Amino acid sequence: MNRIPLTQDQWALVDDEDYYRVVGFNWYAHWDPGTRSFYAVRALPRENGKRPKEYMARVIMNARPDEQVDHKNHDTLDNQKKNLRKGPIWQNRMNLRKYRGSTSQFKGVYFHKASNKWMARIRHNNRTFYLGLFHCEHDAADAYDTASLKYHGEFGLRNIG
């Protein structure tokens, strides 16, 4: 493993086999407010007055324009192949963290005021599936995790274990 220096006191991790493919470029740390993460990015030559960006993870994975590159462990500066996987955008979205401002510490779990219980739900194929109401927040998280394994497979983000 090698470290590639970026701006803003950040570093990207890459496998030894990819180091010489990426080390010669001017990579910088790009903050994405949507994911609240840094990404290793380089600027490409201007096209039609715009300055497109190229993401290091996409270069390493030779991703096509229609493919997303997912960081399995959510460390978006860890661009080692064991942490990266390609897939369509809908699959990549399954590995998103919980939403900001959520009432629970777990993804897919919300406090249901009317029942004074924890509710679990999951989205799949543009549908929301209700998983039940639970007295314990951890039980609701377990229900979400079971459904995530069923509906999202390896791309699904698990709350516990």
Instruction: Note the pLDDT tens digit of each residue in 51-76.
Output: 899 999 999 999 998 888 988 888 99
Residues 51 and 74 reside in one and the same domain: yes
Question: 92 pLDDT exceeds 80?
Answer: no
14-24 pLDDT, tens digit per residue, is 999 999 999 99
d(CA 122, CA 66): 25
Residue 41 domain boundaries? 2-87
Mean of all residue pLDDT scores within the chain = 88
**Cβ atoms within 10 Å of 123's Cβ, excluding its own:** 13
- The last residue of a domain, from among 54, 87, 120: 87
* 104 inside domain: yes
Taking the model in full, what pTM does it have? 0.67
The answer to whether position 92 is within a domain reads: no
- Residues 7 and 50 occupy one common structural domain: yes
Q: How far apart are CA 38 and CA 12, in angstroms?
A: 10
Cβ-based neighbours of 115, under 8 Å, separated by 6 or more: 133
Q: Is residue 93 part of a domain?
A: no
**Chain-centre distance of CA 53, in angstroms?**
19
Greater confidence (103 vs 50) lies with: 50
| Per-residue pLDDT at 1 | 93
